[in-house]
Chain A
Amino acid sequence: MKTIEDLKRMREQFQSQTKLRHASDIQVIVGMGTCGIAAGAREVMSAILDEIAKRKLQDVTVRQTGCIGMCEKEVLVDVVRPGEPRITYGNVTVAAVSKLIGEHVVNGRIVEDMVVGKIAE
């Protein structure tokens, strides 16, 4: 059984490790407009959260955004590594999530064949 009280213990554990961590926050942003959802954005989002949990990634922030006008390329997922251009991936499927996270988020290697946009920050 899980209760809100579990969080206190998790927080204490987190704070005791906090000195070891360094702030290099990588952002993963999923398009959750109507088209995105219709194309499976919720499932892709779930797969990303599973992947973060499985790989124990502590420096990733997940966000959702609305329609950005590339509806035919949904599901869209953006990866932003600090100091690097914002990379937009298109037609992302649940099956592709593990590769995206493993290559780009963990190892910093852009998965070129899925890229549909790059924006220099």
Chain B
Amino acid sequence: MHILDLVQNSIEAGASTVRLEIIEDREKDTLTIRVADNGRGMDAETKRRVLDPFVTTRTTRRVGLGLPLIDMSTKRCGGHLLITSAVGQGTVVEAEYRHSHLDRPPLGNVVETVKAIIVANPELDFHYVHRVDGAVFTVSTRSIVSELGDMPLSHPDVILWLHEFLSYNLANLYGGVQHENN
């Protein structure tokens, strides 16, 4: 799944705040991944051309791959890719899939993905919200850092804790337990 790709785009756009939402609605049969950031945003021209695989603003490589691939995979799975962005206003990228579609890319290992984002970006104000039907789990880097003080996120004890914390809460989410995380 493309979660890391989208978050990396936000970081490269200079975002200090990134909000990742994963919304699974099994009744409506939708899976939505939404990444919202406060980065530099895209002008109308970039936004219009961004789904063309031969467009990228990077200079190191001539071809952008991320968004065009996501666009294609959503369309193949009865969904869509929606980009809302303006210069100086940040960007919201929303990818929606039919949850039950056979070709839908698997969500992948969300525990490892979220763990990597949190540990490797200690200064990023990162929020993770995951809804499965009626249940919701949310955690933010700040809520962890404020408890840790000067203890680094890459401390072995913190890595192990994060792993168990995320695994436990995700399992709960799928077990249908209503969960309140402040």
Interface residues, chain A, with chain B CB atoms under 8 Å away: 1-8, 10-11, 13-15, 30, 32-35, 37-38, 41-43, 45-46, 49, 52-58, 60-64, 66-69, 71
Contact = CB atoms under 8 A, between A and B. Distances in A.
Most buried by B among A3, A32, A57, A68: A32
A67 B154 contact: no
B161 interface: yes
Contacts of A38: 65
A42 B112 contact: yes
Contacts of A52: 154, 156, 159
B116 A11 contact: no
Given A42-B116, A62-B154, A63-B120, A4 B5 contact: no
A10 B61 contact: no
Contacts of B149: 11, 15
A14 B61 contact: no
A64 B121 contact: yes
6 contacts: A35-B61, A37-B8, A45-B120, A53-B159, A67-B58, A69-B61
Given A11-B148, A34-B65, A64 B116 contact: yes
Contacts, number: 110
Contacts of A46: 109, 112, 115-116
B156 A57 contact: yes
Chain B contact patch, size range: 35 or more
B154 A10 contact: no
Nearest to A54: B156
Given A2-B164, A2-B168, A49-B159, A62 B120 contact: yes
Contacts of B154: 49, 52, 60-62
A34 B119 contact: no
Nearest to B160: A53
Contact of A7 (B61, B115, B161): B161
B86 interface: no
A49 B168 contact: no
Contacts of A3: 165
A37 B5 contact: yes
Given A2-B165, A4-B143, A8-B147, A56 B156 contact: yes
Given A11-B148, A61-B152, A68-B60, A32 B161 contact: no
Contact of B168 (A1, A35, A43): A1
A71 B115 contact: no
Contact of A34 (B11, B66, B116): B66
